[in-house]
Amino acid sequence: MLNSTYQLEVHLIESYYYGGAKGRQRLERKVEISEFGLALLLLYINSPKARQISAEILYRFFKLKTYVEGLNDRQIGAIKGYYRKQMRGPGIKP
């Protein structure tokens, strides 16, 4: 089990929000993890195949983080708008 000195509970944040179509919203669970929390969790994976997957997850995370940090506010807004549109699905109006 993870040592409590690492305070994993600080790096895993659970929250709830209402999502779904208007009038049919339901409570959804959301878990956010910090960069350090992700690294801690991946350290405790023991099999060779799982370690390889963990290394790939970390590599892609840091690559994505570097990319996003280089974007300006307008580019980030465009990405958010694109994914909002994708989540609505075809033919669904806002």
Of 14-28, 34-48, 78-92, which has the strongest mean pLDDT?
Answer: 14-28
Report, as an integer, the average pLDDT of 65-89.
82
pLDDT band at residue 89 using 50, 70 and 90 as cut-offs: low
- For the chain, the structural domain boundaries read 1-44, 45-89
Note the pLDDT of residue 41.
78
Average pLDDT, rounded, for the chain: 80
Buried b / exposed e along 60-85 (16+ C-beta atoms within 10 A): eeeeeeeeeeeeeeeeeeeeeeeeee
Note the pLDDT of residue 20.
83
